[in-house]
Structure 1
Amino acid sequence: MTPGVKAVVGLIVGITLARLLWQWVTGTALPWIGDHPWWTGFACLGLVLLTATLLDRPGRGGYQLLYGEDVVVEDTEPDTPTYRMRELAAMTPTAFEEACAELLVRDGFLHTRRVGGAGDLGADVVAWDSDSRKLVLQCKHYARPVGSKEVQTFNGTARPEHKAHHPIMIGLSGFTQPAADFAARHGIVLMGRPELKRWAHGSHLYDVIEAEALE
C-alpha cells in the first residue's frame, strides 16, 4: 500500500471510529450503524487493509507472518556476486584469489577451487568449463604492473605442470608491454585492469577474454 493510500484510509478509519465512539457513548451506536452503511463499510475495509499491511511488514526481510507462522518467501533473484575495483584493491592476496574463484562459480565453471599457496607452482585457482577444458588462473594482487619474468614463470608451469587449456594471468594493476608481448607469443591470456573490471562487474569470463578464439 502506498503512503498516499495509507493516509486516505487512515483518515477515513479515524473519522468513522471517532463517530462510532461518540455514538457508543451516547448509546445510539447500533442505530447509527444501520443508518450509515457506507461509512461502516469504509471503516471495515480500512481496518482490513491496515491489518494486512501490518501483517506484511515482517515480510520486508524475507518473511511474512501468516496465521501466526513464519513462512519463507524464496528469493527468485540468482546469486550473482560482483565486485568494485576498489573492493578488489582493498583485499589481501588470498581474498583476491577467493574472489576470482567466486566469479568463476558465478559464471558456471565446474569444480572450482583455490589452490594458491606455498608449492602451488603458479596455480592460484583452477576450474573446468562445461566442455571439460581446464582453466588455470594466477592472480597477481600487485600495486605495480606484472612484468615479463612473472609471465614467463607462469608459462613454464601452466600447461606442462597443470595441463591448462586456458592459462589465465590476472593483474590487478595490469601488465608491462614486454609481459604482454611474451604472453601473446605463448598463448597466455592476460587480464589487466580493464578486463578484470568487466569481469568483476558481471560479464562472463569468456565474453571478456574471448576464449572461444583460443580453440
Structure 2
Amino acid sequence: MPSRRPARGRRTGTNRTGRRKGRRGGGFGWTDLFLWGVAAVLAYAALRSALPFARSHLPWFVASAVAVLAAAAAVPIVRARTVAARQRRWFEANLELERVDRLTGPEFETLTAGLLRRDGFRQIRELGGSGDRGVDLTAVGPDGRRYAFQCKRYAGSVGAPEVRNFLGALAHAFAGHTGVLVTSGRLTRQALAEAGEAGLILVERDRLAGWLRGEPLPHEPLRSG
C-alpha cells in the first residue's frame, strides 16, 4: 500500500510552536510600554516640580556659579602674587646683605644693637674693641635672660677658633649669659659642630637676612644633631 504523503500546506505542530515563541520574544510587550509610560510621567512631574524652585532661587544659583568661576580664575592670580612677593623678599634681603657687606666691624655691631632694640631687648651695652674679652654686646632679652653677642662681619666663613674663643668668654667673664653668634658669613662644618655641642644661638647669613626683614631673633640654642 502506498504511503500517504502529508498534505501540502499543512504545518506541523513544531513549526507553529516555534513561530509562536518567536513572536513572543521580539519587540516590546504591553508591560514594557506601561513601565516606560510610568517613567515618563514621573520624569515630567519631577521636572514640573523643579522648575518653580529653580526660578525662585535663580539669583542664588547665578551667584554660586559666578563665585565658583571667580575662585577658579583667582587661583593663578594668587599663585603669581605669592611668587612675586617671595621674589621681592629675596631681592630685599639680598640688598640688605649687600649693605651689610659694606659695613665695618664696629658698624656691624651697631647694626646688631639696633636690631636688638627693635626686638625689645634692653640694657644693651656695646663692648666691641681690643678689650672686649671675646664679647661685643650684652643685653637683657624680653624673656629676662642675659645674652652675650659676638658679631662677625665676615665675607667668608667663621672657623672653629672663633667659636672656641667665644665659648671661652662665656665660660669665664660672661658666665651665666646665653651666647649668640651673629655673622654676615657662614660657619665652617667644624665650627657648626662645636657651636651645636655648646648650645649657641647662631645667626648666619640666611638667618641674618630674615632678621633684617623683621623676623624675630631665635631664643633657642642650636642643638647638635
TM-score of the superposed pair, with normalisation by structure 1: 0.56
Structure 2: give runs of 5+ residues left out of the alignment.
1-92
Partner of 2:59: none
SS in 2 for 1:170: strand
Matches within 5 A, 1:1-215: 84-206=96-218, 210=220
CA displacement at 1:168 relative to structure 2: 0.7
Deviations 1:112-151 (A, max 9, x none): 1211111101111111013331111101111210000110
CA displacement at 1:187 relative to structure 2: 1.3
Structure ranking higher in helix proportion: 2
Tell me, in whole angstroms, the C-alpha distance in 2 between the residues paired with 1:111 and 1:140. Answer: 21
Partner of 1:21: none
Question: In 2 relative to 1, CA 107–212 (structure 1 residues): closer, same or farther, beyond 3 Å?
Answer: farther
The more displaced of 136-145 and 101-110 is 136-145
1:153 maps to amino acid: N
Tell me, in whole angstroms, the C-alpha distance in 2 between the residues paired with 1:202 and 1:155. Answer: 28
User: Does the 8 A contact of 1:136 with 1:168 survive in 2?
Assistant: yes
CA RMSD of aligned residues (A): 2.1
SS in 1 for 2:194: helix
User: Does the 8 A contact of 2:138 with 2:148 survive in 1?
Assistant: yes
Tell me, in whole angstroms, the C-alpha distance in 2 between the residues paired with 1:165 and 1:130. Answer: 14
User: Does the 8 A contact of 2:202 with 2:222 survive in 1?
Assistant: no
SS in 1 for 2:187: coil
Tell me, in whole angstroms, the C-alpha distance in 1 between the residues paired with 2:132 and 2:176. Answer: 14
TM-score of the superposed pair, with normalisation by structure 2: 0.54
Q: How many residues align?
A: 130
CA displacement at 1:86 relative to structure 2: 1.1
Structure 1: give runs of 5+ residues left out of the alignment.
1-81
The more displaced of 128-137 and 84-93 is 128-137
Runs of 4+ in structure 1 off by over 3 angstroms are 209-213
User: Does the 8 A contact of 1:146 with 1:173 survive in 2?
Assistant: yes
Question: In 2 relative to 1, CA 204–94 (structure 1 residues): closer, same or farther, beyond 3 Å?
Answer: same
Tell me, in whole angstroms, the C-alpha distance in 2 between the residues paired with 1:189 and 1:153. Answer: 15
User: Does the 8 A contact of 1:145 with 1:175 survive in 2?
Assistant: yes
Tell me, in whole angstroms, the C-alpha distance in 1 between the residues paired with 2:118 and 2:179. Answer: 19
1:111 maps to amino acid: Q
Tell me, in whole angstroms, the C-alpha distance in 2 between the residues paired with 1:196 and 1:144. Answer: 15
